[in-house]
Amino acid sequence: MTTARLRSVLSPHYALPVFNPTISRRQWNIFWMEDIPLKARDVWYRLLHNKLPCRSALHNILSSVFVDPVCQICSSTAESSTHFVYSCHHKYPIWEYIWDTYIDTPFSQPALHSAIFSLNMPTVKSIYKNTSSFQFLACTLLAIWSSHWSLIFSGSRFALPDVIKLVQKHLDKLHPDLID
């Protein structure tokens, strides 16, 4: 399938709102000004605009190509945007680990959802004051995104230690002065 054909198939199906109305102008400004990896910003932006290529969305658009909407990692439920990002039982522990390690606020699924989908950022632990919660969440989102697609296209394993290492690698790129 050519990209032009894919674009024509996708276009009529997505007349969705241009932005999440619960996100304030101030929050959007912070989102655009934060020093986060460009690819992470792209993934996060797609997520906020309901344009993430999760399996259920692809199945709805191209059911002949994506016959099954089920998550390719856990094989237990349809892969919605939320499932793609954190509710998959293979991805949720990654967020829990990162949150418990770097974020001062107690971890909960509603707090994580609010941070990711409404840009209501939690407080970072004081020992990590040089890194923002945006950066921790963006690097985690990017590591999950990269690991997910690495599994799909290359057959790489999707494992908590590997994804955590990738999060740290992205954080180290943001703060090379902190690398030992």
Give one word for 173, left, alpha or beta, with left for phi > 0 and alpha for psi -120 to 50.
Answer: alpha
pLDDT, tens digit (0-9, with 9 covering 90-100), for 113-172: 999 999 999 999 988 888 999 999 999 999 999 999 899 889 899 999 999 999 999 999
Nearest Cα neighbor of 179 from 132, 133, 130 is 130
Among 86, 15, 23, 31, residue whose Cα is nearest residue 54: 86
| Residues comprising the chain, all counted | 180
Q: pLDDT tens-digit profile of 18-61?
A: 456 689 999 999 999 999 999 999 999 999 988 888 777 766 77
Cα gap 108→175, rounded to integer Å = 27
Q: Residue 15: its pLDDT value, please?
A: 43
Write out pLDDT tens, residues 84-124. 899 999 999 999 999 999 999 999 999 999 999 999 999 99
Query: For the chain, what is the largest distance between any 2 Cα atoms, rounded to a whole number of angstroms?
Result: 51
Task: Tell whether the model's pLDDT for residue 13 goes beyond 50.
Answer: no
| pLDDT score of 180 more than 60 | no
Other Cβ atoms less than 10 A from the Cβ of 167: the count is: 25
Which tops the pLDDT comparison, 69 or 137? 137
Token pair in block for residue 9: 């198939």
Q: For residue 178, what pLDDT is reported? A: 54
